[in-house]
Chains A and B, each alone.
Chain A
Amino acid sequence: MALGEQTDPAPAGRLINAEGDRTTRARIAILLLVGLYCVLCAISLGSGASDASLWDVVHDWLRPGGAGADVLSQRDRVIIQDIRLPRIVLGSLVGAALAVSGAVMQGLFRNPLADPGIVGVASGAGLGAITVIVLGGTVLGPVVGLLGIYALPLAAFCGGLATTMLLYRVATRRGQTSIATMLLAGIALAAMAGAFSGVLVYLADDQQLRDLTFWGLGSLAGSTWSKIWAAGPIIAAALLATPFLARGLDGMVLGEAAANHLGIPVQRVKNAAIVAVAAATGASVAVAGGIGFIGIVVPHLLRLTIGPEHRYLLPASALLGACLLLVADAISRMVVAPAELPIGIVTAAIGAPFFLWILLRQRGLLDL
Chain B
Amino acid sequence: MSIETRHLAVRIGRRAILSDVHLTAQPGQVTAIVGPNGSGKTTLLKALAGDLAFTGDIRINGVALTAMKPWQAAVHRAVLPQSTALSFPYTVREIVKLGLMSGRSGARDDETAQLPERALARVDLAGFAGRFYQELSGGEQQRVQLARVLCQVWRPVLDGRPRYLLLDEPVSSLDIKHQLIIMNIAAEFAAAGGGVIAILHDLNLTARFADHVAMMHHGSLVAAGPVAEVLTDNLVSDVFECRIRVSALPAGGMPFVLPQSAEI
Which residues of A pack against B, CB within 8 Å?
Answer: 8, 10-11, 13-22, 106, 110-112, 175, 247, 250-251, 253-255, 257-258, 260-266, 303-304, 307-309, 365
* With known contacts A247-B101, A250-B101, A265-B70, A303–B49 Cβ distance under 8 A: no
Most chain B C-beta atoms within 10 Å of own C-beta, residue among A11, A250, A257, A262: A262
Residues of B within 8 A of A20 (CB): 91-94, 129-131
Cβ B91 vs Cβ A112 within 8 A = no
* With known contacts A14-B135, A17-B130, A261-B78, A111–B87 Cβ distance under 8 A: yes
Q: Point out the residue from A14, A260, A307 that lies within 8 Å of B70, measured CB to CB.
A: A260
B151-182 CB mask vs A (1 if < 8 Å, else 0) is 01000000000000000000000000000000
Asked if B73 is at the interface (CB within 8 A of a chain A CB), the reply is yes
Taking A253-B88, A254-B81 as known contacts, 11 extra A-B pairs with beta carbons closer than 8 A to each other, sorted by chain A number, are A13-B131, A15-B130, A16-B91, A20-B93, A20-B129, A21-B91, A21-B94, A247-B101, A251-B98, A254-B84, A265-B69
Cβ B99 vs Cβ A262 within 8 A = yes
Which residues of B pack against A, CB within 8 Å?
Answer: 46, 49-51, 69-75, 77-79, 81, 84, 86-95, 98-99, 101-102, 117, 127-132, 135, 152
Cβ B128 vs Cβ A11 within 8 A = yes
Residues of B within 8 A of A15 (CB): 130-131
- By Cβ-Cβ distance, the 4 closest A-B pairs, closest first, are A263-B74, A20-B93, A20-B91, A263-B71
Residues of B within 8 A of A266 (CB): 70
Q: Point out the residue from A16, A18, A112 that lies within 8 Å of B88, measured CB to CB.
A: A112
* Min CB gap A276→B, angstroms: 19
Residues of B within 8 A of A307 (CB): 89-91, 94
Closest chain A residue, CB of each to CB of B101: A262
Cβ B91 vs Cβ A10 within 8 A = no
Residues of B within 8 A of A11 (CB): 127-128, 131
Residues of A within 8 A of B99 (CB): 262
Q: Point out the residue from B86, B95, B101, B132 that lies within 8 Å of A263, measured CB to CB.
A: B101
Cβ A253 vs Cβ B70 within 8 A = no
Cβ B93 vs Cβ A19 within 8 A = yes
* Min CB gap B66→A, angstroms: 13
* With known contacts A19-B93, A257-B49, A303-B89, A263–B81 Cβ distance under 8 A: no
Cα–Cα, bound, A106→B89 (Å)? 13
Residues of B within 8 A of A263 (CB): 70-75, 101-102
Closest chain B residue, CB of each to CB of A10: B127
Residues of B within 8 A of A261 (CB): 49-50, 73-74, 77-79
Cα–Cα, bound, A303→B70 (Å)? 28
* Min CB gap A71→B, angstroms: 51
Cα–Cα, bound, A253→B85 (Å)? 9
* Min CB gap A189→B, angstroms: 22
Cα–Cα, bound, A263→B51 (Å)? 12
* With known contacts A14-B131, A14-B135, A307-B94, A262–B89 Cβ distance under 8 A: no
Most chain A C-beta atoms within 10 Å of own C-beta, residue among B86, B128, B129, B130: B130
Cβ B91 vs Cβ A110 within 8 A = no
* With known contacts A261-B78, A265-B71, A19–B130 Cβ distance under 8 A: yes
Closest chain B residue, CB of each to CB of A313: B88
* Min CB gap B114→A, angstroms: 10
Residues of A within 8 A of B88 (CB): 106, 110, 112, 253, 303, 308
What are 18 sample pairs from A and B whose C-beta atoms fall under 8 A apart?
A13-B131, A13-B135, A18-B129, A19-B117, A19-B129, A19-B130, A20-B130, A110-B88, A175-B51, A247-B101, A253-B90, A257-B51, A258-B81, A258-B84, A261-B49, A261-B73, A262-B152, A303-B89
Closest chain A residue, CB of each to CB of B79: A261
Cα–Cα, bound, A304→B152 (Å)? 28
Cβ B98 vs Cβ A254 within 8 A = yes
* With known contacts A16-B130, A257-B49, A262-B98, A308–B73 Cβ distance under 8 A: no
Closest chain B residue, CB of each to CB of A258: B81
Cβ A112 vs Cβ B87 within 8 A = yes
Residues of B within 8 A of A14 (CB): 131-132, 135
Residues of B within 8 A of A264 (CB): 70-71, 101
Closest chain A residue, CB of each to CB of B73: A263
Cα–Cα, bound, A309→B152 (Å)? 18
Residues of B within 8 A of A18 (CB): 127, 129-130
Closest chain A residue, CB of each to CB of B135: A13
Cα–Cα, bound, A172→B238 (Å)? 39
Cβ A260 vs Cβ B87 within 8 A = no
Cα–Cα, bound, A110→B86 (Å)? 8
Residues of A within 8 A of B101 (CB): 247, 250-251, 262-264
